Amino acid sequence: MKTPEKISIKVKFRIMLVCFAIYVVATGLSAFYLIHTYDTLEESFQRENKLKNDISDLRNAQYELFNLYTGKKDKEKEDALKETIDAVCRSIDGGIAYLSAHPLDDSREIKQSITILQDEFSLYKQKNSDIQAIESEISELTQDGGRLATSRNTVKNTILQTAVVGVYNKFAEAVKYEEHFLEKSNVEDYTKFNKQIDGVNTILKNVGNASMVIKYQIFKLEDQFAEYRTTFNLLFSKQLLLGIDNYEGYKGEANVQVRTMLTNTEDMMLESSLLRQKIRKKAIWIVFGLQLAMLAIGVPFFLVLFWSINKPIQNMNDYLSRLLKGELVPADVSPDSSNEMDLMCMQLSEFIGNLKQKQQFTEDIGNNKHTDGFALLSSGDELGNALINMKKNLDEQTERQLARRREDEIQDKINIGLADFGNILRRNNNNIDSLCNETVRALIHYMEADYGAIYIYVDEEPDDIHLEMKATYAADRKKFIVKKVSLYEGIVGTCAVEKTMQIIDDIPKDYIKIGSGFGNTKPSSLIVAPLLLNDDIYGVIEICRTDKFEDYRIKFLERLSEDIASTISYVKENTKNLFKLQEKGKRLEDYTKRLHKAKNELAKKDEEIQSCKDEIAKLTKENARLNDERGGAARKRV
């Protein structure tokens, strides 16, 4: 006997499953770590690249906007560029915030680069905010109804009132340079504007003799021109802050700031690229090392575990091979083993023992020996249940054969009885009394009954429809009892109305007094059968005995009752026809007598008529003779 194994295959498989699950989880975590690392690096690269593109877009938009300030004005394009700059600034804010919150590998250099970039971008936004404030002030100066336009219109109105020669032309030139400056922002326009204002002041100072009113207007005009120049110079100073021609101003500084941001971003991306390569290599080495360690530990462990599982499986396979060769031998295993294969071998041994019992059971059935059977393995033992069912089916088949044989014997008895009664019915089909007597007598013997009676359905009188007892036999002695049973009276009358056979195995004690003609004898089993033909009632048969009737006798009576009804119908019809023939014969005889009597009377009348005819002829001759005699006498008298 083999040494029992203490660890079951189920436990070994669970260990393998746990180890495999650990390997799968570790591999999954490694893959997740690697994928997450690559995704993080890719996300960082995408963010940095987008930040670089945003700064590049900001530089281009800022450069185009600066060109608009130094070139031809285009309000729509300027507004579009400002909207673009705002959108790009928001995107840069988001990019810098993300990189600040997610520094690559927590690198100090990258953090420092992001901080510098964030400070530079803050300076750019502050510069851009200053530019917007200056542009707002310029807009307030130059808009319709603003300070510059108001000052210009005031000067114009005063010039028209004063009408100093040459002033208006100088003013018109100054306005032209003003408008050109507003359009082009050229320093030359600023110089020319002031030159024209200086010319106006010279003209106003050289005005000679003039009235006090004119001098007042001139002083007023000088003040207004001074205000006009001051406003324009303020506008020029604001534009100069933004940047004019070679004076880049705030806008130039903003451009420089953006270029610096772009350069720093490119440097940061170069540092990030080198750092990403290091991170990728590190992640790959970590995953590779983890997989290598798991394989180094897991492969030997799995080989040992597989061998410990495969060995009992091989033993099981060898045992099954012996069973397939027909060797019904027990398994060589330890009953204390926890190994599932050994347990399966032991169960197979038990199964083989049960098979031997079934083999013996089958041989006993084949030899028609009585057997007590065998113990089923379980309620689901299909082979055992099949063998038990086979034995049961064989027993049932034997019983069915015996029952069929008994049924055939009974059917033969019924057929023979019907044939015998057929002869009786044919011999007595001309007289209802003899038919009933012979039928009851033979039926009592065939049914092995103690008493029997036949009632005939009588319906000649519509007001007196009843059943009339025609014959009765009791214990081989013919009894002459005349009994009339009304419909619904007792079992016989009810049977005639309901047209169904009544079988009573527990006859009431007072039944004889109610509806039977058998004296004081008390039978225990009673059959009352209607005589039906085409659902028409012709009578009732009443039979009883002291014990129960067999089924085949009841079937025989059911079939015989229709033959009896047919014969009674035939006898009744013949009786009616015979009665009709007799009635017709009597009527024919009476008619013949009357005819013969009438014939005799007619002959007498013929004789009387002939006698009358002879008398008449005689009288006629006599009358003729007398007439002749009278005629001769008259002639004589003439």
Q: Decide: helix, strand or coil at residue 332.
A: coil
Q: Quick one: pLDDT at residue 418? A: 79
Cα torsion 207, 210, 215, 221 to 10°: value is -50
- Residue 506 phi/psi, 5-degree rounding, is -130, 80
Q: Decide: helix, strand or coil at residue 504.
A: strand
In sequence order, what are the beta bridge partners of 504? 526
> In terms of domains, do 445 and 500 share one?
yes
Q: What is the CATH number of the domain that holds 443?
A: 3.30.450.40
Cβ within 8 Å of residue 63, ≥6 positions away: 255
Per the structure, the complete domain to which residue 235 belongs is given by 138-247
The answer as to whether 351 is a domain residue is no
Which of 94, 108, 90 has the alpha carbon at shortest distance from 46? 94
Domain boundary among 516, 540, 571: 571
> In terms of domains, do 443 and 559 share one?
yes
> In terms of domains, do 115 and 142 share one?
no
The answer as to whether 577 is a domain residue is no
**Residues 235/189, Cβ–Cβ less than 8 Å:** no
> In terms of domains, do 124 and 153 share one?
no
Domain boundary among 535, 553, 571: 571
Return d(Cα 440, Cα 449) in angstroms, integer.
Answer: 10
> In terms of domains, do 28 and 177 share one?
no
The answer as to whether 516 is a domain residue is yes
> In terms of domains, do 239 and 256 share one?
no
> In terms of domains, do 203 and 114 share one?
no
Q: Decide: helix, strand or coil at residue 479.
A: strand
> In terms of domains, do 224 and 98 share one?
no
Domain boundary among 223, 247, 271: 247
Q: Quick one: pLDDT at residue 500? A: 87
Orientation of helix 382-427 relative to helix 340-366, angle to 10°? 30
> In terms of domains, do 84 and 192 share one?
no
Q: Quick one: pLDDT at residue 515? A: 41
The answer as to whether 566 is a domain residue is yes
> In terms of domains, do 47 and 187 share one?
no
Q: Could you state, in chain order, the average pLDDT of each consecutive group of 10 residues for the chain (638 residues)? A: 57 72 74 67 70 73 67 70 77 74 68 74 72 72 74 77 74 78 71 79 69 70 78 72 58 67 70 71 76 78 70 70 69 59 66 70 70 65 71 77 79 78 80 84 85 86 83 61 76 86 77 47 80 86 85 84 84 75 78 81 82 82 75 60
> In terms of domains, do 121 and 269 share one?
yes
> Model's pTM, two decimal places?
0.37
The answer as to whether 299 is a domain residue is no
> In terms of domains, do 60 and 169 share one?
no
The answer as to whether 337 is a domain residue is no
Cβ within 8 Å of residue 410, ≥6 positions away: 552, 555
The answer as to whether 619 is a domain residue is no
> For the chain, how many structural domains are there in total?
3
Q: What is the CATH number of the domain that holds 35?
A: 1.20.1440.210
Q: Quick one: pLDDT at residue 227? A: 80
The answer as to whether 183 is a domain residue is yes
Q: Which tokens belong to 318?
A: 């060898």
In terms of C-beta distances under 8 Å and separation of at least 24 residues, what long-range contacts does 623-630 make, across chains too? none
